[in-house]
Amino acid sequence: MSIDESGPAPPQAENVGILAAEVYFPTTYVRQEDLEKHDGVPSGKYTIGLGQQGLSFCGDREDPVSMGLTVFHQLLRRHGVSPSEVGHLQVGTESGVDGSKSLKTYLMPILEAAGNTDVEGVDCVQACYGGTAALLAAAAWVESRAWDGRLAVVASHMAHAYDFYKPTTGYPAVDGPLSVYCYLHTLDVCWARYAERFERALHAPCTLDAVDHVLFHAPYNKLVQKAYARLWYLDGCRNGGADPSPAHSHTPIAHPYPPTAMPPGLEKYLLGATHASYDAKVRPGTCVQRQCGNMYTASVWSGVAQLLETTGAALEGRRVLLYSYGSGISATLLSLRGRAVAPGSRFSLARLQAGSDLAVRLARRPAAPPADFLAAVARAEALRGAKAYATLWPRVEDLAPGTYYLKEVDERHRRVYGRRDE
Ligand SMILES: CC(C)(COP(=O)([O-])OP(=O)([O-])OC[C@H]1O[C@@H](n2cnc3c(N)ncnc32)[C@H](O)[C@@H]1OP(=O)([O-])[O-])[C@@H](O)C(=O)NCCC(=O)NCCSC(=O)C[C@@](C)(O)CC(=O)[O-]
């Protein structure tokens, strides 16, 4: 997919696009309905209230490095990319394993094995936005005079899902309502700026009708539903539509209500009014997010991979709007266009679709009991900063074939990785 029009095209801009995407999630997860029972909250609180189905977590055998190794290895192998073809490798992350060494350096053995050490890029760290920053840096490299024709890889990894779920010492402190406000308010600002640029570049009105799919960063799915409803509302306001609020029906809206000052009933109305278009434009990119929980830097980009799987060649010519949000605040609203590549290319949309197995892998995961999840959290806490230990769980044979895993942390905090046989 190519990055959409956003201004006068520099000479190399036609080379910029996403050729392939790969997603890794651990095989261990807990069902949200089991967590509701375990936590003693009313039934529906997590599954309907937050719109989530599963929560991925991993044991001490997996960390951001092993997940990055797995997904990077898989990306090259599945798409027939030789390590010598990679000239840029950038990792978007929220949770490195070292205060100095980048995650990118841990992935280098895969390229070094093929004699390739001439690889630009390090890590991008900024809450959930790191993956997007990495993608934009890779795109800028391909557009620049430094580009030598090789491929750029942005390897986003999934952070431990419980990092944000159970804040304790050393975990992020969260102001939930403020963070939700910031997410939605930032969407308002981004949409206004996006629409302005769109109209300047394309000399055509920017409306949601010009968009075929929308992908959102997803801390939880209910916020995605609300964000899409808000986008529809903003679109109506911007394009001189009538106030859809039952209380103010058909009054032209000069200024949208801010997210915190919506008249009673308006949000519910918007959710209902956008139900069908949400199903068509948004839902196809949300399955991994609902089944794994907040994937932080990888969240919105998992939607790209899922859209490739569900839509394939039909994506050609379609416009995908993508909202990346990271606390702090950093956000980008950008659009991508599905583009055909040379017939028979290893990166054709049809091939990407045929080679993708996200739904199969999600369905194959056996659900773990909440007690396993809590034990993994407790062990991660106990091992924070520890050295000279061998990892214990899960058993290597319970990892998916080909998965990289952490074997041990030695007495000098050096991490040793292995790979499960295929
Ligand atoms: C989001 C909050 C504040 C929610 O807070 P909470 O206390 O978990 O839930 P709540 O009591 O506010 O209820 C949530 C919804 O569930 C409903 N509900 C309640 N009970 C039931 C039931 N039985 N059956 C059906 N529905 C039920 C309830 O009515 C409500 O509906 P809403 O008003 O939203 O429409 C909390 O989960 C939180 O603090 N989360 C962490 C922060 C977060 O996710 N923020 C999102 C924006 S910031 C962001 O995306 C960045 C981030 C987080 O990814 C980090 C980064 O960038 O690094």
Question: Of 406, 280, 293, 284, which is closest to residue 356 (Cα–Cα)?
Answer: 284
Residue 35 maps to a domain: yes
Distance CA 31, CA 10 (A): 48
What is the model's pLDDT at position 249?
56
- Which pLDDT value is given to residue 152? 55
**Domain assignment of residue 312, yes or no:** yes
Q: Exactly one of 36, 94, 143, 309 is catalytic; name it.
A: 94
Q: Pairing state of beta strands 151-154 and 86-93?
A: parallel
Give, for ligand 1, the residue of 179, 183, 302 to mutate: max count of ligand atoms closer than 8 Å to Cβ.
Answer: 179
Query: Both 284 and 403 in a single domain?
Result: no
Asked whether residue 350 is domain-assigned, the answer is: no
The pLDDT, as a whole number, for residue 7 is 45
89 in any annotated domain: yes
pLDDT at 252 over 80: no
Instruction: Tell me if 257 is assigned to some domain.
Output: yes
Q: Report how far ligand 1's centroid is from the alpha carbon of 377 (Å).
A: 21
At residue 8, does pLDDT exceed 50? no
* Distance in angstroms between the alpha carbons of the first and the last residue of the chain: 31
Ligand 1 atom nearest 294 alpha carbon: 54
Structure tokens at 411: 């007495």
Q: Which residue has the tokens 């590549």?
A: 341
Q: Do residues 408 and 297 share a domain? A: no
ipTM score of complex: 0.96
CA proximity to 333, closest of 201, 231, 204: 231
Do residue 87 and residue 125 come from a single domain?
A: yes
Same domain for 183 and 324? Answer: yes
Kindly report, residue by residue over 114-143, the tens digit of the pLDDT.
999 888 888 998 888 999 999 999 888 888
Residues lining ligand 1, CB < 6 A? 42, 44-45, 48-50, 94, 127-128, 164, 174, 176-177, 179-180, 183, 217, 219-220, 222-223, 294, 296, 325-327
- pTM across the whole model: 0.89
- Owner of token pair 């095209």: 9
Query: For position 354, what pLDDT does the model report?
Result: 94
205 shares a domain with 122: no
Q: Choose one of 307, 339, 371: the last residue of a domain.
A: 339
Q: Sheet containing 367-368: give its strands across.
A: 54-56, 29-31, 367-368
Q: Are 173 and 312 part of one and the same domain?
A: yes
Let me know if 241 is exposed, middle or buried by CB neighbors in 10 A (0-12, 13-18, 19+). middle
Question: Does the pLDDT at position 78 exceed 50?
Answer: yes
Same domain, residue pair 239 and 187: yes
Q: Is 94 a catalytic residue?
A: yes
pLDDT for 101-115, tens place per residue? Answer: 889 999 999 999 999
The reply to whether 335 and 387 lie within a common domain is: no
In a domain, 197, yes or no: yes
Percent of the chain with pLDDT over 90: 59
Cα 165 to averaged position of ligand 1 atoms, centre (Å): 11
Mean pLDDT lowest among 140-144, 156-160, 282-286: 156-160
Q: How confident is residue 12, by pLDDT bands cut at 50, 70 and 90?
A: very low
CA of 50 to the centre of ligand 1 (A): 6
**What is the 350 CA–ligand 1 centroid distance (Å)?**
37
- Count Cα atoms within 13 angstroms, Cβ side, for 66: 27
Residue nearest to atom 41 of ligand 1 (CA): 176
Asked if 73 and 148 sit in the same domain, the reply is yes
Q: Say if 357 falls within a structural domain.
A: no
Nearest CA to ligand 1 atom 50: 219
CATH number at residue 121: 3.40.47.10
Q: Which of 289, 305, 339 is the last residue of a domain?
A: 339
Last residue of a domain, one of 339, 372, 398: 339
Task: Answer yes or no: do 149 and 173 share one domain.
Answer: no
Q: What is the pLDDT of residue 94?
A: 82
In the chain, the percentage of residues whose pLDDT exceeds 70 is: 87
- Total tally of structural domains belonging to the chain: 2
CA of 51 to the centre of ligand 1 (A): 9
Average pLDDT of the chain to the nearest whole number = 87
Residue 72 lies in domain = 28-155+363-419
- Please state the atom number of ligand 1 nearest to the C-alpha of residue 218: 50
Residues 203 and 273 reside in one and the same domain = yes
Q: Is the pLDDT of residue 323 over 70?
A: yes
Residue 217 falls in the annotated catalytic set:
yes
Say if 21 falls within a structural domain. Answer: no
Assess whether 147 and 171 both reside in one domain. Answer: no
- Catalytic option among 62, 88, 124, 128: 128
Q: What is the pLDDT of residues 189-205, one digit of tens each?
A: 889 888 888 888 888 89
